[in-house]
Amino acid sequence: MRSNIKEIPLVWLAASTCTGCTISLLNSAAPTIKNILIDPIVPGVHINLRYHRTIMGGSGTKAVKVLKQTSSEKKGRFVLVVSGAIPCGDTATCCLMAEDNGKPVTAEARFEELAQNAMVILAMGTCGSFGGIAAAAPNPAGAQPLKKILESKGIDKFLINIPGCPPHPDWFVGTLTRILMSGLPKRDDLDHFLRPKAFYGKLIHEHCPLHACFEKSKFAGKPGEEGCLYELGCKGPITYADCPTRRWNSGTNWVIGAGAPCQGCTQPEFPDLLAPCYEKLKDVDLPEIGTSKLR
């Protein structure tokens, strides 16, 4: 790395996760994942990805050594990303993250060790942010979101939630570049659920192309029929994300554009309180649409 380029170390822990969050990031279009890993993604700043079990070339004790070195030698200067919720307490051994001196280390212990030393923590995905699918009822692994674990252990660290199951790659890259360019966000840049307002500031419903159908009470009665998908279980009226304007797969399309109802995957209520997928929301008071009655 050229000496005039500043390097920001980043470690990524994957706990109870389907790895969808990582796959989504690998699909980043601009910058591409190659740009993110190799180039300065903002002028003069390069991300030094030191640990990510799916992407890194290293493995075994050498990889864990780098992880631990990052925590001790880069204290207060590295970004910690966690995808997935974390099994805690009696069930913590459901999710192990390598060994220290021949002894298995739980994801809970590894997270605690790294969280204390990190500059900032990014919860990538709804599982890490709110529990999500990993903590869905009956949650046999006792999985918990990062915020709850930090609070229970008394760790006061700047946490940013980037929910979505999976999150759009831009939501992660945009949040990270914002930190690299101008430091940690102000508290007011995040909403009540610690989501960056830049990406989660508006309801899906507000920019939905089927909004006019909703206003005219023109509802589709079955998939493929013309009309708003509200009766078919669309969670857009209570879901905050910019999917309608950003769209997915390099701006190609998005869920409602493909004729399917939004499942509310960026919300803390997902999935338990928003299921079943294709049933109309029960708790939304239509005249007050825009406020989640489930909170």
| 145 is a site residue for ligand FSX (CB under 6 A) | no
Q: How many CB atoms lie within 10 A of CB 56?
A: 15
267 binds ligand FSX (CB under 6 A): no
Interface map 157-176 toward ligand FSX (x if CB under 6 A): --------xx----------
| Total residues in contact with ligand FSX, by rule CB under 6 A | 15
Is residue 177 at the binding interface for ligand FSX, with CB under 6 A as the rule?
no
CB of 64 or CB of 127, closer to ligand FSX: 127
CB of 121 to ligand FSX, least distance (A): 14
- Cβ atoms < 10 Å from Cβ of 185: 18
Residues 6+ positions from 42 with CB-CB distance below 8 Å = 177, 180, 181
Per-residue b or e along 62-75, where b marks 16 or more CB atoms closer than 10 Å to that residue's CB: ebbebbbebbeebe
Report in angstroms how near the CB of residue 21 gets to ligand FSX at its nearest.
3
Pick one of 9, 87, 125, 244: the residue that binds ligand FSX (CB under 6 A).
125
- Measure the CA angle with vertex 25, ends 23 and 28; round to 5°: 120
- Is 264 a binding residue for ligand FSX by CB under 6 A? The answer is no
Question: CB atoms < 10 A from the CB of 146, how many?
Answer: 30
**Cis previous bond, 31, omega within 30:** yes
Residue among 133, 146, 162, 256 that touches ligand FSX (CB under 6 A): 133
Q: Which residue is nearest to ligand FSX (CB)?
A: 20
- Least distance from C-beta 286 to ligand FSX, angstroms? 29
**209: three-class secondary structure by DSSP:** coil
At closest approach, how far in Å is the CB of 72 from ligand FSX? 26
Query: What's the rounded Cα separation, in Å, for the pair 129 and 162?
Result: 7
Residue 83 or 267 having the CB closest to ligand FSX: 83
Q: Which residues contact 182 (CB under 8 A, 6 or more apart)?
A: none
- Which residues of this chain interact with ligand FSX, rule CB under 6 A? 17-21, 83-84, 125-127, 132-134, 165-166
